[in-house]
Structure 1
Amino acid sequence: MTSYIAIDWGSTNLRAWRYENGECIDERRSEAGVTRLEGRTPVEVFDSVTAGWPVTSVPVVMAGMVGSNAGWLSVPYLSCPVSLGKLASQLTRVEDKAWIVPGLSVDSESNHNVMRGEETQLLGAITLAPNRVYVMPGTHSKWVVTEQDTVCDFRTVMTGELHHLLLRHSLVGAGLPPQQANERAFCEGLETGSNDSSILARLFEVRAAHVLGSRPREAVSEFLSGLLIGHEVALMSQTFPTSGGVTLIAGSSLAQRYQHAMTFAGLPVQLLDGDRAFQHGMRSIANDLAD
């Protein structure tokens, strides 16, 4: 084991961990994602978050949107198919302060896709919870197909962002009261989304149902969540070779919803915490840097 600093720097948040001899001895969080710098430079945010840490004497490895064209430095993608074992040898140095992990890309006639940050989770997952298909839900859910440590293909489903846009910026969510947890509404949406080949015609019904009094106005968010997640799982389980099940890499807030949808679809699933996968991947990269 080695001593190092790992940073997950996304669009809206930043998380940093300091390790000594493989043990995490400190953790820091910030809302200074690359789209929320509020006039500060990435260097200033980096120096603030790592203040007092030995950044000049241990490897500092960063992953996520920090390596995008909106981040600190635009780092090239690695084209799929690609072995995740190549990540450590393809890092980009930034201002003699840290290393940035490259993202992955697919660029074919039938699929144009990119990821940043998820590749590090995958590197951890192939050891902690090996599978052929991995699912990483979120604002932009990733479905990834692999062969051992090689990422062969992946697709992105904008389920989380679509839920937010419909609820906050469309007629579907206009005039609604504060939303409440409602398992029954989620399950009803899940069943509807799972069984429809297309949900486009269902979206306006989300509004119409509460206007007509058929569904509580406080449960619209839950129904919409079930509708979108159910449709995502049903569609992607037909697109990817999921007969052997999937590894779901997620935090607790989304894990239960996706597990429910996958169980409904008859899809075997094993769960891996997203932070654990990320940190294990970072450890692997840091160890390679120290060799």
Structure 2
Amino acid sequence: MAEEYIAVDWGSTHLRAWHIRSGEFVNTLALPCGVTRMGQDTAEEIFQRHLAPWRGKDAIPVVMAGMIGSESGWLPVPYLPCPATLEAPGEQRCAVAKGVWIVPGLKSARHGVYNVMRGEETQLLGAYELAPASCYVMPGTHCKWVPVAERQVAGFDTVMTGELHHLLLTHSLVGQSLPAQKEDEQAFHRGLETGLEAPSVLPRLFETRAAWLLGALARESVSDYLSGLLIGAEVAAQSAQLRPESVVVVGSEALVARYLKAFSLAGITASACDGERAFVRGIGRIMDAGK
């Protein structure tokens, strides 16, 4: 195992970093300065201010993944084409400074269908080390569904469930004039049932507005109902298409729990893997391979 290194998950909105020595966290950092929130600073300036001091006089190595490798980041790092091994992105990381690398993302082009990912490829490598499976579901703003066979990724799907939920709730008639939303487990479960039964979700969206207009759905419960509806539809549609033998959901505890409920209700066995732990393990695997 690599003795000492810094792992950096630098996404669109947030920068997270872990200084690791002998498998233990020495320092951690979480800042709301992703590549879309850097203001007048460059990525290199933010790196020098917040991360370079961790390197010390020995300039310990740094491996970064995520949108930091996009055109909005430090340096555009080309996507690697699928099929690709889980290890390929780490093996082809790009140097941006001495001892500082960015991991490339993956791209998929199958039958006229195109997809890209940045950051998830590193998390995926770590998740496979922690919890081997035939399919990984990585929820978030843009949820990734990634089948894995013999340590290879042939392609993957992206479902914009998180972003669609936000847009519907804040910029559409579905969420117009609603009060502050409250947690409602029953509304979420009801939405899950509807989404799983009717994954062609478009007609269900206006019905959500009609339900609260007519008093059949509490106005403060629309967010949870809509979350269940969209997640249920996603799980139903993607599971029917991919028919995975084993599923691991990778991400934050709260969001993973929602997807696990959807899989359970659909009669599909799925397990959880912490997203942060998977990412750090992925960077560690890349460091080990590079020694």
Shift, 1:58, TM fit:
1.4
**Residues 97 and 40 of structure 1: is their aligned pair in 2 closer, same or farther, counting only changes over 3 Å?**
farther
Amino acid aligned to 1:175: S
- Partner SS, residue 147 of structure 1: coil
Give 1:93's aligned residue: 95
Map of 1:199 onto structure 2 = 201
Is 1:53 aligned to 2:24, yes or no? no
SS at match of 2:273: strand
Mapped to 2, the partners of 1:173 and 1:47 lie a distance apart of: 42
Question: What is the aligned partner in structure 2 of residue 182 from structure 1?
Answer: 184
Paired letter, 2:162: G
Contact kept, 8 Å, 2:196 with 2:236, in 1: the verdict is yes
> Corresponding residue for 1:163?
165
The residue that corresponds to 2:258 in the other structure is: 257
Letter in 2 for 1:215: L
TM-score of the superposed pair, with normalisation by structure 2: 0.96
Say yes or no: does 1:38 pair with 2:22. Answer: no
Alpha carbons 1:16, 1:49 under 8 Å: kept: no
Residue 270 of structure 1 aligns to a residue whose secondary structure is strand
What secondary structure does 2:75 align onto?
coil
Q: What displacement does 1:240 show?
A: 0.8
> Alignment partner of 1:75: what SS?
coil
1:16–1:27 CA contact under 8 A, matched in 2: yes
| Contiguous gaps of at least 5 residues in structure 2 | none
Q: Secondary structure at the match of 1:153?
A: coil
Q: Distance in 2 between the 1:279 and 1:64 partners? A: 13
Question: Which structure 2 residues correspond to residues 258-277 of structure 1 after superposition, within 5 A?
Answer: 258-277=259-278
Match of 1:17 in 2: 18
2:115 is matched with 113
Tell me the SS of whatever aligns to 1:163. helix
C-alpha distance in 1, partners of 2:112/2:16? Answer: 35
Amino acid at match of 1:19: I
Shift of 1:22: 2.4
Query: Structure 1 vs Structure 2: percent identity of aligned residues?
Result: 51
Deviates more, 1:191-200 or 1:87-96: 87-96
For the residue of structure 1 that corresponds to 2:157, the secondary structure is strand
Among 234, 238, 241, the alignment partner of 2:240 is: 238
CA drift of 1:19 comes to: 1.0
SS at match of 2:254: helix
Gaps of 5+ in 1: none
Say if 2:154 is the partner of 1:152. yes
Aligned to 2:288: 287
Residues of 2 paired with 1:286 and 1:31: CA distance? 26
Structure 2 distance, partners of 1:283, 1:37, is: 27
**How far did 1:152 drift?**
1.4
Tell me which moved more, 247-256 or 217-226.
247-256
3-state SS of the aligned residue for 2:20?
A: strand
Instruction: State the one-letter code of the partner of 1:116.
Output: R
State the TM-score, normalizing by the size of structure 1. Answer: 0.96
Alpha-carbon RMSD? 1.2
Q: Tell me the residue number matched to 2:216.
A: 214
Distance in 2 (CA, whole Å) between partners of 1:239 and 1:22 is 39
- 1:70 deviates by 1.7
Kept after mapping to 2: 8 A contact 1:233/1:261: yes
Does the CA contact (< 8 Å) of 2:19 and 2:25 recur in 1?
yes
Letter in 1 for 2:13: T
Residue 60 of structure 2 contacts residue 99 of structure 2 at CA under 8 Å; is this kept in 1?
no
| Cα shift at 1:125 | 1.4
2:9 counterpart residue number: 8
CA distance in 1, matches of 2:146, 2:87: 16
Q: Residue 111 of structure 1 contacts residue 155 of structure 1 at CA under 8 Å; is this kept in 2? A: no
Give 1:21 shift.
2.1
How far apart are 1:229 and its partner, in Å?
0.2
Mean Cα deviation higher: 179-188 or 65-74 = 65-74
Counterpart position of 1:127: 129
The Cα of 1:167 is off from its aligned counterpart by: 0.2
SS at match of 1:52: helix
Residues 110 and 155 of structure 2 are in contact (CA less than 8 Å); yes or no, is this contact kept in structure 1?
A: no
CA distance in 2 between counterparts of 1:23 and 1:256 reads 27
Question: For 2:243 and 2:186, how far apart are their aligned partners in 1?
Answer: 30
